[in-house]
Structures are given as C-alpha cells and as structure tokens.
Amino acid sequence: AQKVTQAQTEISVVEKEDVTLDCVYETRDTTYYLFWYKQPPSGELVFLIRRNSFDEQNEISGRYSWNFQKSTSSFNFTITASQVVDSAVYFCALSEARGSGGSYIPTFGRGTSLIVHP
Amino acid sequence: AAGVIQSPRHLIKEKRETATLKCYPIPRHDTVYWYQQGPGQDPQFLISFYEKMQSDKGSIPDRFSAQQFSDYHSELNMSSLELGDSALYFCASSLGTAQFYNSPLHFGNGTRLTVT
C-alpha cells in the first residue's frame, strides 16, 4: 500500500495563480518526518522542506507555504503567485524508523507534475 | 556550496553488460543512499551506507551491489543489465547522525542509464 499519496497527477495553472499540492501520508509511528522535494525538467531532486511529527506549525518561505495537519495526515504545499520556473514534478516523502537499527529512509509519493503557463 | 557529485551523467549500455555508477557525497557527509527512478515513477530506495557499512537495504536486485569507500564515496555496480534497468539513478548523502535523526537527504543530479 502506498504510504504517501499524492492524488493529483498533474496540475496546470496560469502564471500568478495560487496552487496547492496535496499530500496524504499513512503511518503508525509517533515519530516520523515529512519532506517535499522539487524535480525540475533538468532532473535533479531539490530539497524544499522537512517537518517532524511533533511540529505542526505551518511554515512560509517566500512564495512557498506548507500546511501540516496530523488530524488529517496531510502535509500540503501551496505556491502563491506561481511562476513558469515553478514548473516541475513535486514529491512528498515520509520517513519512518525502519527495522532494528531505527534508521529513517524517505519513501516518496508518486509526485505531482505542476505546469505553469505564461 | 559543494553538492553531491554523480558520474557519469549519462550512460548507455547493452543488455547483459555491466555498469558502475559513482557518487561523491557532500564533504563531511558519511552516509550515502542510492535511489532508482524509472520513467514517470517516484524514486525507489535501493541501499544505503553509513561509515562504509551497509546500513539499510531496499528493493535492490541481486544483480546490483554497492559499497562505500574509505573516502566516503560510493559505487553502485550493476551486472547482467536488463532493459528494465533503464532509469535515473540518484545518490544522496547526509550526516551520519542524520540516519537516525533524519536530516534531509541531499541528492545529486543523477545518472541516466539507458539499456538497449
């Protein structure tokens, strides 16, 4: 079963529109971490944000903001006033403790492709 | 700031050949991770190393092996290549303690492997 669900496969917006990318996760752990990564057409994976399960404060960084709600197991990402350069695939990821070693390895969602038209 | 370096950027191999991918982590990072991303897919975890020892294992085929060297760089060796191995292979690095306290992974630009 998919532990991280990004139900939106592709979103298309016009520049300057606001857009929210949804992420719903599934875990039984009390300690876990959530991430968002951006993958532009050039292919690299760019880290955007990390959140731990004990910190539900929303965060804003420029045009980016994140809404973490444990009650709904969601970690949504909003881009305000989108720009063409925001066009990319965005991945949400979840890290839970694995095995006896307790290491954390991110598991990615399927990604949401955002296309921003001029 | 220095990032994770992967080489080569692109690699074309034929079926049944072998391939070696290299990864140089961010300086002072002692943990490396390998991920495989098929076309239109999400990255899938293959294997990780901490202080030159394998620390975790994901969906890595038996035909693949990897190791981390004394300078912390890592190599992913792939043998008996199949068409389905065509993918983008990412290496990521983090600080050792991050393995357990979960600092973010910093990814390289990936190696695009095409098997024909």
Which pLDDT tens digit goes with each residue over B57-113?
Answer: 998 999 999 999 999 999 999 999 999 999 999 999 987 654 555 577 889 999 999
A41 touches chain B (CB under 8 A): no
Query: Phi/psi of residue B78, each to 5°?
Result: -125, 125
Could you tell me the pLDDT band of residue B55, with boundaries at 50, 70 and 90? Answer: confident
Q: Can you give the pLDDT at residue B66?
A: 97
Least confident of A53-57, B2-6, B39-43: A53-57
Distances (CA, A) of B38 to A37, A108, B11, B59, B113: 17, 13, 15, 13, 10
Q: Can you give the pLDDT at residue A57?
A: 81
Q: Can you give the pLDDT at residue B14?
A: 97
Instruction: Give which of B26, B97, B102, B112 to mutate to test A binding, by max A Cβ within 10 Å.
Output: B102
| Closest CB to B104 among A47, A101, A102 | A47
Cis amide linkage into residue B25, ω under 30° from 0: no
Q: Can you give the pLDDT at residue A117?
A: 97
Q: Which residues contact A73 (CB under 8 A, 6 or more apart)?
A: A24, A25, A26, A27
pLDDT mean across residues, chain A: 91
Cα B71 from Cα B63, distance rounded (Å)? 25
Does B22 score more than 90 pLDDT?
A: yes
Query: Phi/psi of residue A114, each to 5°?
Result: -105, 125
Residue ranges for chain A with pLDDT beneath 50:
none
Cα B75 from Cα B15, distance rounded (Å)? 20
Contact flag B42-A91 (C-beta cutoff 8 Å): yes
Contact flag B100-A37 (C-beta cutoff 8 Å): no
Q: Can you give the pLDDT at residue A96?
A: 83
* CA-based nearest residue to B91, from B32, B42, B51, B27: B32
DSSP assignment letter at B25:
P
Contact A107, A93 (CB under 8 A): yes
Q: Can you give the pLDDT at residue A88?
A: 97
Q: Can you give the pLDDT at residue A75?
A: 96
Q: Can you give the pLDDT at residue A101?
A: 56
Cα B46 from Cα B36, distance rounded (Å)? 7
Structure token digits, residue B98: 């991050």
Instruction: Give which of A104, A110, A112, A113 to mutate to test B binding, by max B Cβ within 10 Å.
Output: A104
Percentage of residues of chain B with pLDDT beyond 90: 73
* Closest residue on chain B to A112 (Cα): B42
DSSP assignment letter at A8:
-
B56 touches chain A (CB under 8 A): yes
Cα A101 from Cα A89, distance rounded (Å)? 32
